[in-house]
Homo-oligomer: A and B are copies of this chain.
């Protein structure tokens, strides 16, 4: 089952050097989750052959323009592409008003319904769940209300060890073993032990998205042990004071959070437009947390199970 993240935009406040405003697409199982939607995201979705029609859930962390100004255009394009099924939109208070105001003045009625889920920027809460995945929002510390998102696969079934399979095993036995329960066949009196007939379940993967935020240790227990952590690193380490003043983070701060949270891999991004070359970002972050990579547009990051 895929669990892969496509980077659609990786810059902060202004586009520069071919880098655009923040947006990411997480494909996990049957879901395509769009995370933030900076200006021009619809074009990057086309450019990187992402499946716009398959996106049913859009998560907007906060209402700074570089995180949502591509949303209205995307919603209009979905309408023009004859979308008819609901879109679920998760965002801060006011995002619905921003959308409705623009729909009103353009005298537009979309072919599909937008189901708006207002985030509570003060608590961690479960905002989505299906049979494969759970999504949580949690507070970040930014200049305006801002949420991070945690995407977690649900526990997976035990895997039947095909080498141990016999022709007489029943479907009930397989179903029971997959759930991690031993099974006794009433007819044959044969006993099937989980430890004998199965391999352990595949890992349930998780992705934590933290943008935008100043250095904040309060998030550590929430994102603990995530396989992949995106943490903003708007500035290089020498700009720590400025980062703090603007409620952003540096490379070293992102690295510290990754290390303390014991994540598998750290992905940094949201680079300030003042930097042309972003190589120093990954070099600095790796001084604290070795397994760090840069967000680069068009890149696909796969998390293995």
- Interchain CB contact under 8 A, A43 and B15: yes
* A residues 62-78 touching B (CB-CB < 8 Å): 63-66, 69-70, 72-73, 76-77
Chain B residues whose CB sits within 8 angstroms of the CB of A46 once the complex forms: 15-16
Chain B residues whose CB sits within 8 angstroms of the CB of A106 once the complex forms: 63-65, 144
The reply to whether the CB of A240 lies closer than 8 angstroms to some CB of chain B is: no
The reply to whether the CB of A61 lies closer than 8 angstroms to some CB of chain B is: no
Measured CB to CB, the nearest residue on chain B to A40 is B40
- Interchain CB contact under 8 A, A98 and B105: yes
- A40 touches which one: B43, B65, B80 (CB < 8 A)? B43
Cα distance A224–B140 in the bound complex, in angstroms? 58
* A residues 16-74 touching B (CB-CB < 8 Å): 16, 20-21, 39-40, 42-43, 46, 63-66, 69-70, 72-73
Measured CB to CB, the nearest residue on chain B to A273 is B80
B-facing mask of A96-124, CB < 8 A → 1, else 0? 01100110111100000000000000000
- A80 touches which one: B14, B39, B143, B144 (CB < 8 A)? B14
Chain B residues whose CB sits within 8 angstroms of the CB of A280 once the complex forms: none
Measured CB to CB, the nearest residue on chain B to A21 is B73
The reply to whether the CB of A200 lies closer than 8 angstroms to some CB of chain B is: no
- A39 touches which one: B13, B39, B144 (CB < 8 A)? B39
Answer whether A143 and B107 are a contact pair too, CB < 8 Å, given A72-B65, A73-B65.
Answer: yes
The reply to whether the CB of A94 lies closer than 8 angstroms to some CB of chain B is: yes
- Interchain CB contact under 8 A, B70 and A39: yes
Contact-residue size bin, chain A (C-beta under 8 Å from the other chain): 35 or more
- A76 touches which one: B16, B42, B65 (CB < 8 A)? B65
The reply to whether the CB of A92 lies closer than 8 angstroms to some CB of chain B is: yes
Measured CB to CB, the nearest residue on chain B to A14 is B77
Chain B residues whose CB sits within 8 angstroms of the CB of A76 once the complex forms: 13-14, 65-66
- Interchain CB contact under 8 A, A102 and B107: no
Measured CB to CB, the nearest residue on chain B to A16 is B46
Cα distance A143–B108 in the bound complex, in angstroms? 10
Chain B residues whose CB sits within 8 angstroms of the CB of A70 once the complex forms: 39
Cα distance A20–B15 in the bound complex, in angstroms? 16
Measured CB to CB, the nearest residue on chain B to A92 is B105
Chain B residues whose CB sits within 8 angstroms of the CB of A94 once the complex forms: 101, 104-105
B-facing mask of A203-231, CB < 8 A → 1, else 0? 00000000000000000000000000000
Chain B residues whose CB sits within 8 angstroms of the CB of A143 once the complex forms: 107
Q: How far is the CB of A242 from chain B (nearest CB, A)?
A: 14
Measured CB to CB, the nearest residue on chain B to A39 is B73
- A15 touches which one: B42, B97, B98, B105 (CB < 8 A)? B42
- 6 smallest A-B Cβ distances: which pairs? A94-B105, A63-B105, A39-B73, A40-B40, A65-B76, A14-B77
Q: What are 8 pairs between A and B in contact, CB < 8 Å?
A: A14-B76, A15-B46, A16-B46, A65-B73, A69-B69, A94-B104, A94-B105, A101-B101
